[in-house]
Amino acid sequence: MTEAQRDVVDVLSADHREFDRIFTELEGLRHRTGSDVLKRKRELVDEVTIGLVKHSVAEETQVYPRVEKQVDKEEAEHSKEEHAEAEETMKRLERMDPDDPGFDDAVKELIDEIRHHVQHEESRMFTELRATFSRDELVEMAEKVEAVKKIAPTRAHPMTPNEAGVRMAVGPVASLLDHLRDAVSGRGKHTD
């Protein structure tokens, strides 16, 4: 299956599998110390945060507006609320060092939030997307999701409302600033 043939459910599900891979590695490092372990925890948290933020912005700008309009408004609102909770946790983690006593607990909180969100989306929203939209529409949504992910911010911005119009308006500026900060700090150099 080529990239162009994947539909939006395939793209978002692949992201979910990647997040879970990182979470599994983080769980294996929980309560472990040592400079190499702490460095790896930071790399993994940065990697998953970058991926989650890009994924969330793409969903909020390209998927949830369609879900809200054509599937279930409450479903879209619930998902945006879950994103907002996870953004708060990611922002806290960004400010913490891996040797901070609360770091592992904050990582666990993020893992729990995202796994709950993924289970909710995959058990209901994804089925509704495939039932509501044509294959061509789903493939087009996938292409738009991938395009947004390429230009989306890389850091959580919990003060920015999770609304498509707002995300599209402030996203490019936030993305530019995030990418500059990442380039200077070396954050995310292990991700694409």
CA atoms within 13 A on the CB side of 23: 21
The string of pLDDT tens digits covering residues 105-156 is 999 999 999 999 999 999 999 999 999 999 999 999 999 999 999 988 887 7
Cβ atoms of 41 and 98 closer than 8 Å: yes
First to last CA, the chain: 21
pLDDT at 8 over 90: yes
b vs e for 4-35, b when ≥16 Cβ sit within 10 Å of the residue's Cβ? Answer: eebbbbbbbbebbeebeebbeebeebeeeeee
Confidence of residue 68 (pLDDT cuts 50, 70, 90): very high
Cβ atoms of 175 and 188 closer than 8 Å: no
Q: Taking residues 43-58, what's their average pLDDT?
A: 94
The string of pLDDT tens digits covering residues 20-31 is 999 999 999 999
In terms of Cα–Cα distance, which of 18, 22, 50 is closest to 155? 50
Mean pLDDT (the chain, rounded): 86
The length of the chain in residues reads: 192
Q: Which pLDDT score, from 0 to 100, does residue 189 have?
A: 64
Q: Which pLDDT score, from 0 to 100, does residue 153 have?
A: 83
Rounded Cα distance between 84 and 78, Å, is 10
